[in-house]
Amino acid sequence: MADQQSNRDDAVKAWSGRFSEPVSALVMRYTASVFFDQRMAAQDIRGSLAHARMLARQGIIGDDDLADIERGLGQIREEIERGEFAWSLQDEDVHLNIEKRLTALIGDAGKRLHTGRSRNDQVATDIRLWLRDAIDQILALLVDYQRALLDLADTHAATPLPGFTHLQVAQPVTFGHHLMAYYEMSRRDAERFADCRKRVNRLPLGAAALAGTSYPIDREFVARELDFDGVCENSLDAVSDRDFGIEFCAAAALTMTHLSRFSEELILWMSPRVGFIDLADRFCTGSSIMPQKKNPDVPELVRGKTGRVNGSLISLLTLMKGQPLAYNKDNQEDKEPLFDTADTVIDTLRIYADMISGIRVKADAMRDALNQGFATATDLADYLVKKGLPFRDAHEVVARAVRAAEERGCDLPDLPLGDLRAFSELIDEDVYQVLTVEGALDSRNHIGGTAPAQVRAAIARARAALG
């Protein structure tokens, strides 16, 4: 690739006839996008082939031209795949680089390819094709992540874990139930990507520079060739708006936000102070100075990388907000945030599925933590309510019982019946069924509740949905 030192005299552009002086090397580098948009080369070639076939079908170019274009683009695709394509800064972007090479290979037919289109509708098509592929990859990876979650949740459908509010022990839940909360989030994430795909999957080509074209084109044919669900219905909108990319980033930001929350918990659970889980060594690193350390670097980086994905969303929103119709060069700045977002989400999901499969659960530590936080206090209150006490009075009775247990340094089920009865005559021997963790878990037996039977049912529904 030519670098910034390139000679000004070399700076001859595709539209140079209109200009009396070449751009400076700095401006050339500043305006070029080939460094990053060459990632869309496969999509650019695919779009060009569909366009050329349509042109030939409509009699706008000859069949011999089409044959040359197909041959030339085929060769270019191979050159790119083999890493032999000579990308040139002077040709600004992926589109002009490929077109120039095509013309060098096949002559005038290469120059006819751009009939009835503009780089404006071309780039919008490429980016949509690229994003569609990225979404399909993300959707498949989300399924892998979900399967890993479901497997672990299944194993721990009945493993008691303290449920927290305000990061204080609140009520018993099962570890499986806790994991299924992340499954639910991931399900909505997948829905969002699938929904965004519908709006990504429309063909801009045919909008040309902004107003459409005077050639007798067949946009529906091109849409079918490229597996689009339909065409963008307004040419000005087609070349200018990038809301589909913003939606993609929003879906990605939420996905990363969910994974960041999960990561925060993994980090906390792995802290020796908590010790609920251990992550497989391959997701951790040691310290260069403290030999005892095993740091959860991967979840910490997931939490950290969420920042750049959120940043991309803000970048694109800001990129769009001041643009008048139709195309403006600002839009060239959409690609790097989109690529970076897709790369980050794809790598994160890939790692996550594997990381979850490698979690070692320390069920004893989870149970010990549960026994220290009066986790069944609400169950005692509910017990009294079921025996006729108004809830506010029951709340007060239990508060006094908790204070007594605290003073004695024990948990509620450790208080003898006689002591409990001092707080309320309504308390009988059967109270111990609700004061135990298992009793508390089993009693929350409705859809969405933490009873192991409900957790297993939720897992079964999820598995059926995944197919």
* Using rule CB under 6 A, residue 231 touches ligand ARG: no
Closer residue to ligand ARG (CB): 37 or 411:
37
* Catalytic residue (one of 166, 214, 288, 446): 166
Closest separation in Å from C-beta 300 to ligand ARG: 35
Angle between helices 452-466 and 119-155 (to 10 degrees): 140
Residue type, 307: G
CA distance readout (Å), 290 to 11, 207, 293, 311, 452: 56, 61, 6, 34, 41
| SS3 at position 108 | helix
Residue type, 400: R
* Using rule CB under 6 A, residue 360 touches ligand ARG: no
* Using rule CB under 6 A, residue 411 touches ligand ARG: no
DSSP assigned state of 163? E
* Using rule CB under 6 A, residue 427 touches ligand ARG: no
Stretch that binds ligand ARG, among 102-110, 119-127, 179-187, 274-282 (CB under 6 A): 119-127
330 class by beta-carbon count within 10 Å (0-12 exposed, 13-18 middle, 19+ buried): middle
Closest separation in Å from C-beta 33 to ligand ARG: 4
Question: Where in 201-284 does DSSP place strands (E)?
Answer: 202-203, 230-231, 277-278
| SS3 at position 11 | coil
* Using rule CB under 6 A, residue 93 touches ligand ARG: yes
Known catalytic residue: 166?
Answer: yes
| SS3 at position 295 | strand
Considering only 213, 310, 331, 454, the residue that binds ligand ARG (CB under 6 A) is 331
Closest separation in Å from C-beta 34 to ligand ARG: 8
* Using rule CB under 6 A, residue 117 touches ligand ARG: no
Closest separation in Å from C-beta 19 to ligand ARG: 14
Stretch that binds ligand ARG, among 71-79, 115-123, 152-160, 383-391 (CB under 6 A): 115-123
Residue type, 50: A
Known catalytic residue: 156?
Answer: no
* Using rule CB under 6 A, residue 329 touches ligand ARG: yes
| SS3 at position 168 | strand
Stretch that binds ligand ARG, among 292-300, 310-318, 324-332, 423-431 (CB under 6 A): 324-332
Question: Where in 136-257 does DSSP place strands (E)?
Answer: 160-165, 168-174, 202-203, 230-231
Q: Which positions ≥6 away from 346 have C-beta within 8 Å?
A: 134, 137, 138, 141
Stretch that binds ligand ARG, among 141-149, 250-258, 329-337, 339-347 (CB under 6 A): 329-337
* Catalytic residue (one of 16, 24, 271, 287): 287
Binding site for ligand ARG (CB under 6 A): 33, 37, 93, 119-120, 123, 327, 329, 331-332
Which residues have a catalytic role annotated? 166, 287
